[in-house]
A and B are shown apart, each in its own frame.
Chain A
């Protein structure tokens, strides 16, 4: 047998070898919904004549997008989900104050594990690929299908291998690497395919960097991103109280394409509006002295403890520029608490940042930092589409926590090296 990581997981599920292009009907291990996508799935489930859900143990519901609720309508949506969780006896329902942003939360809680087949009614479900699970973003009807029958339909995707070689430079993290990859592949470069991140360089990437990279696989159009289960993943599992088995692609696995990236050649990146693929080396962007109004550090892309540590280490040097508002959003209640204990929150407050409770908030232009017409932000989020953070004529530049923090201090987009 010679299989890619994704094929291995699917072959195990079906009990036979699978070929790209085949349609499969599969039982999932975990299915996720949030306060935007679950209400629609709930409505569809009942409309289709659903009564009791197939298996409440598999379902995870997280209130994170418009919470703490920003207005009456969002409160109604969150309430629908809360009541559904109660009626259907869904134990993995995460209320604010006990949860966080779904894609930070599920791995942290040990809900998604290596080798799992996960579907989530959220496009960034692919984040869990960092754990060596096959995690695919789907729609609300698919979630309703899991409520109804525990199953999804999937087309076996071809795989593109991203071979990583060597070690990244100082300050360069998963965000820069994935932005660089997306700039080469384009926003459609991996459409319907899996991005498999493998090669000896993987061992030099922290779990946080891997989560960030898998998270943004979809910005290259990919069905998902996936990493092998190596020692770092096994340790990560152990810290969360469960055991993981190694999972590596076969040497002779068939890839549709192979791209090689030497990590030490990648510089800090910044993606200009309005596509994540518009990224350039920081050196080039910094010359333009692009002035900013807001900085957002957080999201399912870069709201983990490691991200906040880097941000705080840079913020410590000075205070946020007088023309800039800087919003820091820990990705989960646990991240928040750890950051508090480590003194990171204190650093942020002393540097004049505002620290928000864990929420998606400004990442999707929901609340807690929406932009006005003509305003410009640097964000550690994953999408810089037009109007994503507010007014259609506002602008988002995507960057790592290191670049975002340095830019917050200087008032224009710059590298932490130039502080």
Chain B
């Protein structure tokens, strides 16, 4: 799996209230949620034209706080292709895998600036920053999680499991 896009940079501790404030949780429609994605730290972000197809790079503890799956859904709905962060909070990571939003742990985030064009190859775990031409590595998913992602998310995985068991 290969992803290319322009980078938006965010800081540490981007919690789920910052990704999608609770006052917008009155729907679970990704397109609707996307409009308010990152609203309280970057008002209007979700309505920008250049967010579609972009990549978010953030610091530590991305997605902490609530279990709301609306957070990765809002990000996915906004057309953001992938989130790279120094670290992820547990439930966010789980939700992202379950709904098929690619994420990756990247330690050298300071090597990236807002607006950089980058390329990510998920099979090899390599990232190239087009501006500096430097390459970086992300940790690959453990095999079990890769299986879930390849199945197209947790529910699809469960369905294939059901047919396996019946056999």
B65-A123 in contact (CB<8A): yes
Interface string of B15-59 (1 = CB under 8 A from A): 101100111011110000000000010000000000000000000
Q: Give the distance in Å from the alpha carbon of A381 to the alpha carbon of B156 in the complex.
A: 37
B28-A39 in contact (CB<8A): yes
CB contacts (< 8 Å) of A239 on chain B: these are: none
B40-A43 in contact (CB<8A): no
A140-B64 in contact (CB<8A): no
Q: Give the distance in Å from the alpha carbon of A141 to the alpha carbon of B95 in the complex.
A: 7
Q: Which of A23, A40, A45, A122 contacts B70 (CB 8 A)?
A: A40
A386-B17 in contact (CB<8A): yes
Judged by a CB distance under 8 angstroms, whether A231 is at the interface is no
User: In the complex, how many residues of chain A place their beta carbon closer than 8 angstroms to a beta carbon of chain B?
Assistant: 49
Among B1-9, B85-93, B108-116, B120-128, the stretch in contact with A? B85-93
Among A70-78, A167-175, A325-333, A397-405, the stretch in contact with B? A70-78
B60-A142 in contact (CB<8A): no
A141-B144 in contact (CB<8A): no
CB contacts (< 8 Å) of B153 on chain A: these are: 141
Q: Give the distance in Å from the alpha carbon of A74 to the alpha carbon of B65 in the complex.
A: 21
Among B75-83, B131-139, B158-166, the stretch in contact with A? B158-166
Q: Give the Cβ gap from B165 to chain A, nearest Cβ, in Å.
A: 10
Closest B-chain residue to A24, C-beta based? Answer: B144
B65-A383 in contact (CB<8A): yes
Q: Which of B25, B89, B155 contacts A145 (CB 8 A)?
A: B155
B155-A44 in contact (CB<8A): yes
- Count class of interface residues, chain B: 35 or more
Known pairs A66-B26, A153-B154; A141 contacts B98 (CB<8 A): yes
CB contacts (< 8 Å) of A221 on chain B: these are: 61, 64, 89-90
Judged by a CB distance under 8 angstroms, whether A353 is at the interface is no
B90-A386 in contact (CB<8A): no
A153-B148 in contact (CB<8A): yes
Residues of B with Cβ closer than 8 Å to A?
A: 13, 15, 17-18, 21-23, 25-28, 40, 60-61, 64-70, 73, 87, 89-91, 94-95, 98-99, 142, 144-145, 148, 153-156, 158-159, 161-162
Instruction: Offer 27 A-B interface pairs, CB within 8 angstroms, sorted by A.
Output: A23-B144, A37-B67, A37-B69, A40-B28, A40-B70, A48-B156, A48-B159, A49-B159, A73-B26, A77-B26, A123-B65, A123-B66, A137-B91, A138-B91, A139-B69, A144-B155, A148-B159, A149-B158, A151-B158, A153-B154, A187-B13, A188-B87, A192-B90, A221-B61, A221-B90, A275-B13, A386-B40
Q: Which 6 A-B pairs have the closest CB atoms?
A: A73-B26, A139-B95, A141-B98, A48-B155, A40-B28, A139-B69
Given contact pairs A188-B61, A383-B65, enumerate 13 new A-B contacts (beta carbons under 8 Å).
Answer: A40-B73, A71-B26, A74-B26, A123-B66, A123-B91, A142-B98, A191-B90, A364-B66, A365-B23, A366-B22, A385-B65, A387-B21, A392-B21
